């Protein structure tokens, strides 16, 4: 209820909801285009993902490649991808968190906030 017993302006509420929906779509598009990196092994392996979590690139320094120890290289790749995804989640929270609060603080389905 509105203080004083009045009814909410439905047209205004609809416009606000449409604006939030447009802002959310724009933020999601920006996330899909923004790239973040994660590194492992002191930069021997670098993973690049979008803010939406899509893996775009993987760079491996030749010093990380030891044919006798591929397990370490695999661990470095996994760690770099995980670090990049953590950076993408941070970016998501920065971009979408304020919009989620505008939706009543319930968060956005599928996102960790």
pLDDT given at position 17: 85
67-104 pLDDT tens trace: 999 999 999 999 999 999 999 999 888 888 777 665 55
Cα–Cα nearest to 58, from 75, 81, 35: 81
pLDDT given at position 113: 44
Res 106 pLDDT > 70: no
Predicted TM-score (pTM) above 0.75: no
Contacts 24+ apart (CB under 8 A), 84-88: 84/36, 84/37, 84/38, 84/47, 84/48, 84/49, 84/55, 85/38, 85/49, 85/53, 86/38, 87/36, 87/37, 87/38, 87/49, 88/31, 88/36, 88/49, 88/50, 88/51, 88/52, 88/53
């Amino acid at each position: 209820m509105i203080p004083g017993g009045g009814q909410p302006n439905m047209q205004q509420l609809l416009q606000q909801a449409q604006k939030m929906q447009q802002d959310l779509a724009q933020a999601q598009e920006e996330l899909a285009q923004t790239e973040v990196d994660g590194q492992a092994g002191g930069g021997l392996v670098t993973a690049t993902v979008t803010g939406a979590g899509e893996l775009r690139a993987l760079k491996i320094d030749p010093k990380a490649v030891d044919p006798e120890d591929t397990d370490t290289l695999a661990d470095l790749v996994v760690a770099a991808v995980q670090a990049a995804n953590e950076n993408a989640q941070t970016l998501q929270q920065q971009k979408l968190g304020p919009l989620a609060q505008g939706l009543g603080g319930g968060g956005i389905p599928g996102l960790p906030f």
